[in-house]
Amino acid sequence: MRKIFQSALVIALLLAPSRAWAHAHLKRSDPAADSRVSSLLLAIRLWFTERPELSMSSASLKDADGNEVVMMLPEAGRPGDNEIHFRLSAPLLPGRYVLAWRTAASDGHPSRGSFGFTVVGEAAVTPLGSASTSPIAVRGSEGNGQKQTSRSQTGVGEEEEDAASPANSLARALLFTALLAVIGVVAFRVLVLPRARTVSSELCQKIARRAAAFGLLASGVVIFVSLVRLYLEARMMGAMPGMPGPSLNQIVMQTLWGYAFMIQVAAAVLALVAFSLAVRGMRIGWTIATISAAVLAITPALGGHAASSPRFTSLLISADFLHVLGGASWLGSLFCVMLIGVPMALTTEGGDRWGNIASLVNSFSPVALGSATLVVASGILASWIHLEHLSSFWTTNYGKTLLLKLLLVGCILIIGAYNFRRVQPQLVKEEGVARLRKSAGTELAVGFLILLVTGLLTGISP
């Protein structure tokens, strides 16, 4: 059973739902990069691969002498177009101009870039809101304008952002780890402990209280790392020279990422209170902790690509929620079994200790199998919707990083096969428990490395 679960886990890790597109990349613009346009230009329009957050979007237009041109605040285009535009306060004089832009998708990952264009004499102009998306070209330059439109669709002048920096990647990995720990503690208490029928009720209560203490610590980590991520988000958005960054109030109150941040922190605070009650043996604490864990499981979807997807939004949010819930039920429960349940079972007298350990491990196995099924099903669904080109797995930095993740997953396969064939049948002996603790410790260490790589992957665009 454990071997089957490990194989399912490998598939789930490869699927990585709702994180396939990490940034709002510039798809095209009007004017296009290096195009020649009319002096009657009314606005500058930008189209992105994801819906940009209007409150986190800004642009700066400068002429050849470095003088800044006054533009209005960004406005959203038609629903579903992923477009924003900046109206010009006055017609542009002939000459060369450079537009520097910045925005962020709903997952909070910013992107930025710049491109230039040339304003020439008056010509017919495309009204704002027209169906045309090509830049306005003067007579005799239609071919050049068409060529530059094609170039702009590839994100000409787009710069790499700090979303994949070591600090941001580590913060995301630590947040994933803390979230999995909080949810895993609840899954261990609700799904694993009640199935360990040969373990005495007194020992179960002691294990539950120790698990609640660990959940208390993990909840505090969720709050702390969430605040660190807010700081890093504000720093990323304020890194564009010549553009004022959005305030913390704008980031938190006017974006989907901020909405998810507030829910996450509130749920973590509620979990903190719940685990405090559970440590004291109050059953109501576990009820509140279960609700908090369910809310925390959905926050990655609300602050990720699932919530901003132009299609199947509700379905993607549900799939991402089930993916996190399933993964946390496995990894967090395994942590509780090996670092809380097994050590406490070893303190019991006589031969019951080996039976208690075997009961805990055996009660964990069906939970692991069910969680793996949940992870695989939700991952397949989300990946089928998100992944655009298979070739991106071997032609991009995202794909190269994914190969590292594959190597780590292969290590987990080997450890899982060893546990299933050599360790689990010997749990009734002291030697078998020693092997289990060593191999499971290695398995958890590799699992954390996978979370580190996942933290990097979620900041890289494939």
Instruction: Tell me, yes or no, whether 150 and 167 share the same domain.
Output: no
More confident residue, 250 or 245: 250
**Exposure of 28 by Cβ count < 10 A (0-12 exposed, 13-18 middle, 19+ buried)?**
buried
- Domain end residue (candidates: 159, 187, 210): 159
Q: E strands, 105-248, where?
A: 110-119, 158-159
Residues 280 and 238 in one domain: yes
For residue 104, list its beta bridge partners: 110
Looking at the chain, the whole-number percentage of residues with pLDDT higher than 70 is 70
Q: Are residues 88 and 45 in the same domain?
A: yes
Please say if the pLDDT value at position 444 is more than 70. Answer: yes
CATH number of the domain at 37, please: 2.60.40.1220
Phi/psi class of residue 396: alpha, beta or left (left: φ > 0; alpha: ψ in -120 to 50)? beta
Residue 52's SS3 state is: coil
d(CA 461, CA 109): 10
Q: What are the residues whose beta carbons fall under 8 Å from the beta carbon of 450, sequence distance 6 or more?
A: 13, 405, 408, 409, 412
Give the pLDDT band of residue 46 (cuts 50, 70, 90).
very high
| Last-in-domain residue among 108, 133, 159 | 159
Domain coverage including residue 387: 2-20+161-457
Report the SS3 class of residue 376. Answer: helix
For 83-120, give one letter per residue: b (16+ CB within 10 A) or e: bbbbebeeebeeeebebbbbbbbbbbbbbbbbbbbbbb
Residue 295 domain-assigned (yes or no): yes
The last residue of one of the domains, among 106, 137, 159, is 159
Residues 127 and 197 in one domain: no
96 and 54 belong to one structural domain: yes
Question: Quick one: 371 and 419 in the same domain?
Answer: yes
pLDDT at 10 over 60: no
The number of folded domains in the chain is 2
pLDDT in tens, 169-228: 788 889 989 999 999 999 999 999 998 888 888 899 999 999 999 999 999 999 999 999
pLDDT digits (tens, 9 = 90+) for 333-345: 989 998 998 889 8
Are 185 and 320 in the same domain?
yes
pLDDT in tens, 82-137: 889 999 988 888 999 999 988 877 667 778 888 999 998 654 344 444 433 333 33
DSSP one-letter code for 29? E
Residue 354 included in any domain: yes
Residue from 200, 195, 217, 310 nearest 271 by CA: 217
For 87, residues 6+ apart whose C-beta sits below 8 A from its C-beta are 42, 43, 71, 72, 75, 128
Same domain, 225 and 97: no
Domain assignment of residue 123, yes or no: yes
In a domain, 71, yes or no: yes
- Exposure string of 406-441, with b = 16+ CB inside 10 Å and e = fewer, is eebbebbeebbebbbeebbebbeeeebbebbbebbe
* Lowest mean pLDDT segment, chosen from 157-161, 165-169, 411-415, 452-456: 157-161
Same domain, 154 and 166: no
End-to-end CA distance of the chain: 34
User: In angstroms, what is the C-alpha Rg of the chain?
Assistant: 26
pLDDT at 25: 78
Please report whether residue 41 resides in a domain.
yes
Rounded to the nearest 5 percent, the helix, strand and coil shares of the chain are 60, 10, 30
Strands (E), 57-143: 58-63, 68-69, 75-76, 83-87, 95-104, 110-119
H or E segment and range at residue 37: strand 36-37
Q: How far apart are CA 187 and CA 139, in angstroms?
A: 68
Q: pTM for the full model?
A: 0.76
CA angle, 266 then 271 then 274, to 5°: 130
Residue 129 burial (CB < 10 Å; 0-12/13-18/19+)? Answer: exposed
- Residues 222, 157 contacting (CB under 8 angstroms): no
Alpha helices by DSSP H, 238-282: 248-253, 256-279
| Backbone CA torsion sign across 177, 323, 328, 301 | positive
Find out whether 419 and 364 touch, Cβ atoms under 8 Å. no
Q: Is 68 found in the same domain as 10?
A: no
Same domain, 31 and 104: yes
In a domain, residue 109? The reply is yes
- For residue 462, tell me if it sits in a domain: no
Question: Do the beta carbons of residue 5 and residue 369 sit within 8 Å?
Answer: yes
Q: What is the pLDDT of residue 319?
A: 85
pLDDT, average across residues 132-147: 35
Are residues 196 and 125 part of one domain? Answer: no
- DSSP state, residue 431: H
**pLDDT the model gives residue 404:** 77
Least confident of 160-164, 308-312, 372-376, 393-397: 160-164
